[in-house]
Chain A
Amino acid sequence: MIHVTMRRSILIVVCAILAGPVPPIAALELSPFVQIGPRDAGGGVLLDYGSRCTRTQTGILVTRHLRSDEFPVGAAVSVRQAFTLPSVHLFEAGLTVEADFFDPDAGLLVLPSAAADIGVRIPPFQRVTTFTLGYRYGFAEYEERHDGSGYHVRRVGRSTARPLVVRLIVEW
């Protein structure tokens, strides 16, 4: 019989989205130079609940869209499910779903996203600090208005994002 020890802890997470835009919030036009650097960054507190093999991390992150003038700050509800092979517990695989909320001029914008990542518990802080590198897909539908001289324009669109995501998770 296998005894599974359940544990609960609080995690401090710092994350950055690299090499990928979140259009229209920070879409790139690359002409003539590509701009490489952090696109979005965020941090917050997650509650961790898990056993030897799985961990569920749930919480709220404050996010900043670094290249956006329009929607610079938001909040994200994040749920990450991590899986670990007990025999090689240095590594873990994670699946994350997030809903990122912003309040632009046009009203509340929600950016749902899903991510898959690989995490490494960094020695000598094994079981304390986890570094993850993952791939995220997100999309948002948006609408903006412009009142011109005698005419009005309403723009409607869908934006998608497929950036790399880096996270540093510290177990408290």
Chain B
Amino acid sequence: MNRVVGPTIGVALIVCICAGCTLDPVPVGSGEMLIEISVGDEWLHDYPILGPISRPNPPTFAVWMTASADPLDFVGTVFVTAKMGNASWIRADDGRPEALPVWSLARGGQPTSSSPAPDGVTGATPVDDSAYVVSWDSPPAEVYVWLEINHSVDYTAAYPDGAGPGTSGYSGGPGGSGQPALIYCAGVDTTVPGASRTMQLTGHSEPGDIGVGTVYDDLAGIDSALRIINHATVQVGGNE
């Protein structure tokens, strides 16, 4: 009897656990704003380790808010991945200026190990869809939400491995960016309950350096980076 009951219970528990692997809708109340990022086919990018050995690597990204359609009109950071927020790069003591240049400029400079981003907005990179709920003491009428996202070493013919500083397609040198960071944006009227916007791809950041915050709308030469996310949305809480 025990030979039957034991395995049956084990299998049943496994089935129950696996069946529960769905994320319930995130509750968002009146006066709150929900930002959701849905991962795309290229969310995990093969990062070379040694020779033919590689492993899936999630992207570096930051979500922040501005008071206008200017990505540098900074209000605050919603989330930034840990390596960027803590400047804990292994092979780059001085940080990776090409990783998220626009967000870095907007917040007043790239985080350093001695002056990292606040712990509360920094976290390990989600490996799946993620959600962020923002609320205010005094809600602004309009807010713009920005997403800057980048994979390391996702080289293409336009952004090749080995391109040197000052040459076309330079993306930060060894271990650098490859295709530059992409910028998505959505502006919402927070006074309209239930208002929802899909974040639109507005362009890419400076390829190989921090630059001056220019967002380039020419996406030529950018391929797999376009599929890092499936979509991202911003939704104001409350009923329409």
Contacts and interface: CB of A to CB of B under 8 A. Distances in A.
B188 to A, nearest CB: 14
Contacts of B118: 146, 148
For chain B, which range describes its interface: under 10, 10 to 19, 20 to 34, or 35 or more residues? 35 or more
Given A137-B18, A158-B129, A56 B6 contact: yes
Contacts of A114: 13-14, 17-18
A112 B15 CA distance: 12
Interface of chain B, main secondary structure: mixed
For chain A, which range describes its interface: under 10, 10 to 19, 20 to 34, or 35 or more residues? 35 or more
Contacts of B134: 151-154
A159 B121 contact: no
Interface in A1-47: 4, 6, 21, 23-35
B57 A23 contact: no
Contacts of A149: 76
B211 to A, nearest CB: 20
Contacts of A27: 58, 82, 124-127
Contacts of B89: 31-32
B47 A30 contact: yes
Contacts of A147: 120
Given A51-B3, A53-B3, A146-B118, A23 B10 contact: no
Given A31-B60, A153-B134, A155-B79, A95 B128 contact: no
B121 A148 contact: yes
Interface in B1-23: 2-3, 6-7, 9-11, 13-14, 17-18, 20-21, 23
Interface string B59-89: 0100001000000000111110111000001
Given A27-B124, A97-B10, A152-B136, A157 B18 contact: no
B91 A32 contact: yes
Contacts of B115: none
Contacts of A148: 76-77, 118, 120-121
Contacts of A6: 2
Interface in A50-69: 51, 53-54, 56
Contacts of B138: 150
Contacts of B125: 23, 27-29
A160 B79 CA distance: 19
Contacts of A79: 9-10, 13
A95 B40 CA distance: 32
Identify which of A34, A97, A155 gathers the most chain B CB atoms within 10 Å of its CB. Answer: A155
Nearest to A114: B14
B137 interface: yes
Contacts of B65: 151
Interface in B114-155: 118, 120-121, 123-138, 152-153
Sort A-B residue pairs by CB-CB distance and give the 6 closest, nearest first.
Answer: A146-B120, A27-B124, A32-B175, A31-B152, A81-B10, A29-B83
Interface of A: 4, 6, 21, 23-35, 49, 51, 53-54, 56, 79, 81, 83, 95, 97, 112-114, 137, 139, 141, 144-160
Interface of B: 2-3, 6-7, 9-11, 13-14, 17-18, 20-21, 23, 26, 47, 49, 55, 57-58, 60, 65, 75-79, 81-83, 89-92, 96, 99, 118, 120-121, 123-138, 152-153, 174-175
25 contacts: A24-B123, A24-B124, A27-B82, A29-B57, A31-B47, A31-B99, A31-B153, A31-B175, A32-B91, A32-B92, A54-B6, A79-B10, A95-B10, A95-B14, A97-B10, A112-B17, A113-B17, A153-B121, A153-B132, A154-B134, A155-B130, A155-B133, A156-B130, A157-B130, A157-B131
